[in-house]
């Protein structure tokens, strides 16, 4: 088996690590071709890789209004006959006023219109589209933000977010190798307030919860996350993929991260909460 990944981000790297351990050949792209990756603009090398790949996955978000992978390599990927996958975002659903949304919900009404268009285009190509919520895991979790003093709680009553441990996302993508094309939400079972998550992380580290800050004090990007409120349903992934999150809620996920961290977390440079980095 040979997997070509467009964009070796946080989740894609975790997937590559697991599959390589299972004997897969995995090739990835970056903008600059660092390490053993291929430059994204090396069209000759990537034409060869597309031709021999059994599986092709894109974790590259839109650049402006376009999906650079679809524009440059989409036609070749579609002709290749390889399994196609795309790491999308639950942001495609927009605001649901805190209601539950599944894969049948309309997309494209939120602030991520370009992401929703890319999501739809990959579905048209016959891809398995994995819609991901806030991603956390080793080196990128509320524990890291609390430990570095970067965490805060936000005055936003009634606001909830869905999230997923990176290991559960990797397991869901792998389960999707044998699944029909379509969209799949990979989220845990317990949408929760970010404030509750941060307070729990602080308690695990034996610290007081960080103070509340006004919503208006956040950056425009962060305020954008709080402008949308929804709960992500995962029943289709459980039913069709046979997938079950090993970390069904943030408490289980954070406890496991704390237990695996030795020595204890002291410093890190995590991505922002609910980052769109796939």
Spans of all domains in the chain: 2-137+162-189+232-251
Tell me if 84 sits within 8 A of 111, measured CB to CB.
Answer: no
Q: What long-range pairs does 265-270 form, CB within 8 A, spacing at least 24?
A: 265/143, 265/144, 265/147, 265/205, 266/147, 267/147, 267/148, 268/139, 268/140, 268/144, 268/147, 268/148, 269/148, 270/139, 270/140, 270/141, 270/144, 270/145, 270/148, 270/150
Tell me if 113 sits within 8 A of 89, measured CB to CB.
Answer: no
Q: Which of 100, 111, 89 is nearest to 226 (CA)?
A: 111
Tell me if 218 sits within 8 A of 226, measured CB to CB.
Answer: yes
**What are the mean pLDDT values of the chain's consecutive 10-residue runs (278 residues total)?**
97 98 98 94 98 98 96 97 98 96 93 92 98 97 96 95 98 98 98 98 97 94 91 98 98 96 45 43
How many Cβ atoms sit within 10 Å of the Cβ of residue 151? 23
Element (H, E) at 5: strand 2-6
As a whole number of angstroms, the distance between CA 92 and CA 98 comes to 15
pLDDT at residue 225, rounded to an integer: 87
Element (H, E) at 45: helix 43-52
Fold of 2-137+162-189+232-251: Rossmann fold (3.40.50)
pLDDT at residue 109, rounded to an integer: 83
pLDDT at residue 272, rounded to an integer: 39
As a whole number of angstroms, the distance between CA 94 and CA 90 comes to 8
């Amino acid at each position: 088996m040979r997997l070509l990944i467009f964009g070796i981000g946080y989740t894609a790297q975790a997937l590559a690590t697991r599959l390589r351990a299972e004997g897969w050949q995995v090739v990835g792209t970056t903008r600059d071709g660092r390490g053993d990756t291929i430059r994204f603009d090396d069209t000759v090398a990537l034409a060869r890789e597309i031709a021999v790949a059994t599986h092709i996955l894109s974790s590259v978000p839109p650049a402006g209004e376009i999906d650079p992978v679809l524009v440059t390599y989409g036609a070749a990927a579609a002709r290749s006959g390889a399994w196609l996958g795309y790491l999308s975002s639950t942001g495609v659903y927009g605001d649901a006023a805190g209601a539950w949304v599944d894969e049948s919900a309309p997309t494209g009404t939120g602030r991520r219109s370009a992401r929703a268009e890319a999501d739809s285009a990959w579905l048209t190509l016959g891809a398995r589209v994995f819609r991901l919520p806030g991603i956390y895991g080793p080196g990128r979790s509320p524990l890291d933000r609390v430990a570095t003093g970067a965490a805060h709680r936000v005055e936003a009553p009634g606001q909830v977010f869905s999230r997923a441990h990176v290991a559960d996302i990797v397991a869901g993508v792998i389960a999707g190798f044998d699944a029909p094309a379509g969209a799949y939400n990979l989220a845990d079972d317990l949408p929760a307030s970010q404030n509750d998550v941060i307070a729990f992380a602080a308690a695990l580290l034996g610290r007081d919860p960080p103070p509340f800050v006004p919503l208006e004090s956040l950056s425009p990007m962060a305020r954008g996350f709080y402008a949308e409120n929804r709960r992500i349903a995962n029943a289709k992934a459980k039913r069709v993929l046979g997938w079950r999150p090993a970390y069904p809620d943030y408490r289980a996920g954070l406890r496991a991260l704390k237990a695996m961290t030795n020595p204890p977390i002291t410093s890190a440079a995590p991505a922002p909460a609910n980052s769109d980095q796939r």
